[in-house]
Amino acid sequence: MVNTEHASLYLHPDRNLGMELVRATEAAAIRAVPFIGRGDKNAADGAAVDAMRKFLGTVDFDGVVVIGEGEKDDAPMLYNGEHVGSGRGPSCDIAVDPIDGTSLTANGRQNALSMIAVADRGSMYDPSAVFYMDKIVTGWEGHGVVDLRQPIGENIRALAKAKGKDVADMTIAILDRPRHAGLIDEVRAAGAGTRLMLDGDVAGGINAALSETRIDMCVGIGGTPEGIITACALKALGGFIQARLHPKDDDEAQKAIDAGHDLERILGVDDLVTSDNTYFVATGVTDGQLVGGVRKMGPKIRTESIVLRGKSGTIRRVVAEHLAEKWL
């Protein structure tokens, strides 16, 4: 019996917006290269923002930035609420991070990315200015097995069993922050290893959901915007995420309650992004486990990107060579 939904997808292929958006992340990554290791993260970010915005203007969609560089008064470009794209085509929410890891870039460290996430208009979660959330991310094996409310040791043992691995072979990615000292100790006490990240828990979450990486789980308190972006990527990967808002102080907690948020609510992937029509694109600025960084090779510039599409569950890796003289 023919699955008519799947047959329709192939008989009437629709446009893959991600393959157009990747040009914007490539441009941002390339423009950031002169600032790698130069100690000026603001200059690197400024160059990437300018390049990304220019290329987004060529894409046929009506995008509204819901996660961007900040409020309009503080961010002249790619600010929250700004319309991007040609204005023709689908109406979308867009989350942008021209450089995820500006400090990594400025210090010449690994794992800096340029990234964009897109979903149908109105489908991305509004955290009402709560900047942090507690998160746990795994691959598909975590569904029905892992729970944010359980102790981390229990989650590691349960996931190891589901993956058919020994606990000693499990690797848990965690942002290297003072707030995670106790969590790191608990992971190690459970018998698992840690991968401490200087920055960039989006890449950590995606790596946890990809089958070919050494990371099995990404946990800890990180940015709420990053949690929403990660959820867009997980739609294509079939991965698992749970999150809970983590206000930084009583004032932020009260604002969240006043906005109607339940601070004890566990948010799943469909709460963070209600649409399955999502795209996630990222290009490496510096080398990392998810993608390689920009490389100058004689007259060519080489970029490596990943393009994830939720609707089709497709992972594409895009390696491009750009004539360097066109970027001078």
Please indicate if the annotation marks 201 as binding a ligand: yes
Please indicate if the annotation marks 224 as binding a ligand: no
Please indicate if the annotation marks 223 as binding a ligand: yes
Instruction: In whole angstroms, give the CA distance from residue 222 to residue 293.
Output: 24
Please indicate if the annotation marks 303 as binding a ligand: no
Q: What is the DSSP string of 91-158?
A: EEEEEEEEEE-HHHHHTT-S--EEEEEEEETT-B---TT--EEEEEEE-GGGTTT--TTS-HHHHHHH
Q: What kind of fold does domain 132-272 have according to CATH?
A: D-Maltodextrin-Binding Protein; domain 2 (3.40.190)
Please indicate if the annotation marks 213 as binding a ligand: no
pLDDT at res. 76? 74
Q: What kind of fold does domain 17-122+277-326 have according to CATH?
A: Fructose-1,6-Bisphosphatase; Chain A, domain 1 (3.30.540)
pLDDT at res. 89? 87
Instruction: In whole angstroms, give the CA distance from residue 319 to residue 300.
Output: 12
Please indicate if the annotation marks 132 as binding a ligand: yes
Please indicate if the annotation marks 274 as binding a ligand: no
Please indicate if the annotation marks 226 as binding a ligand: yes
Per the CB < 8 A criterion, the answer to whether 35 and 105 are in contact is yes
Question: Which residue type occupies 280?
Answer: F
| Phi/psi-derived region of residue 31, left when phi > 0, alpha when psi is between -120 and 50, beta in every other case | alpha
Please indicate if the annotation marks 247 as binding a ligand: no
- The helix/strand/coil state of 286 is coil
Q: Which of 246, 242, 248 is nearest to 271 (CA)?
A: 242
Please indicate if the annotation marks 199 as binding a ligand: yes
Instruction: In whole angstroms, give the CA distance from residue 55 to residue 33.
Output: 17
Question: Which residue type occupies 181?
Answer: A
- The helix/strand/coil state of 189 is helix
Please indicate if the annotation marks 102 as binding a ligand: yes
Number of H-type helices and E-type strands within the chain: 10, 13
Q: Which helix (H) or strand (E) holds 323?
A: strand 314-323
List b or e across 288-312, with b for residues whose CB sees 16 or more CB atoms inside 10 angstroms.
Answer: bbbbbbbeeeeeebebbbbbbbbeb
Please indicate if the annotation marks 122 as binding a ligand: no
Q: What are the domain boundaries of the chain?
A: 17-122+277-326, 132-272
Q: 10 Å Cβ neighbour count for 212?
A: 6
Instruction: In whole angstroms, give the CA distance from residue 176 to residue 198.
Output: 6
Please indicate if the annotation marks 179 as binding a ligand: yes
Taking the chain (328 residues) in runs of 10, the rounded mean pLDDT of each run is: 47 70 96 96 94 93 88 73 91 93 93 95 89 96 97 98 97 97 98 92 94 94 93 96 95 91 95 96 95 94 96 94 87
